[in-house]
Structure 1
């Protein structure tokens, strides 16, 4: 089964997720979305499974640095998708794709639940 971890390599939470996967012997593909980018189809797939408010990190520096009018434009899935495609660093990290499911964030408990199903 394919496991893909999306994020940026210097993110502390992504580092923790990558370490957990390696320590638990789980093969995965890492997709650096700052370097490799994101396609609209992938973002739409995520939005088909998760609320846009889960995917957009409104606590991060990228969001906080946006002009107020840009933030106000993100009021639905379409606005969120446009922002995520324009500025992938606004996406809450990491995003894990496994068994046709999408998960956001990392915790030891969450990953244990995901990989013991």
Structure 2
């Protein structure tokens, strides 16, 4: 397994995801989205697996201005705006090769090999 956890240090679900893998002795790589973020390619592959860009956005987030803008701009522009403002994404984004999840989903992670 090659686990990557994209999230923020303050996010409780990200902390729970780290604890999930740590307790099972599974090595993972943590990427702080406020420092590094995701590349366009990573973002597109995760969006494809999880039902598109719209599903990756945390619509109940705090940054209402950015969320309102994202809602009404073209898809390619959405991608750019989201990558500029990773705080609007649902976290954690957990990747294992081509598989990925949004949010805390231990039931899915248990099935990964």
> Into which bin does the TM-score normalised by the smaller protein fall?
0.7 to 0.9
- Cα RMSD of the aligned pairs, angstroms, is 2.0
Residues 76-87 of structure 1: matches in 2 within 5 Å? 77-87=75-85
CA distance in 2, matches of 1:109, 1:47: 20
Matched, 1:73 2:72: yes
Structure 1 residue ranges (4+ consecutive) displaced by more than 4 angstroms after TM superposition: none
When the two structures are superposed, what TM-score results if normalisation uses the length of structure 2?
0.83
CA distance in 1, matches of 2:67, 2:31: 28
Residue ranges of structure 1 left out of the alignment (5+ in a row)? none
Matched, 1:59 2:60: yes
CA distance in 1, matches of 2:17, 2:34: 17
- Does structure 2 conserve the Cα–Cα contact (< 8 Å) formed by 1:13 and 1:93? yes
Residue ranges of structure 2 left out of the alignment (5+ in a row)? none
When the two structures are superposed, what TM-score results if normalisation uses the length of structure 1?
0.81
Specify which of 99, 102, 106 is matched with residue 100 of structure 2: 102
Q: What number of residue pairs does the alignment pair up?
A: 112
- Does structure 2 conserve the Cα–Cα contact (< 8 Å) formed by 1:47 and 1:77? no
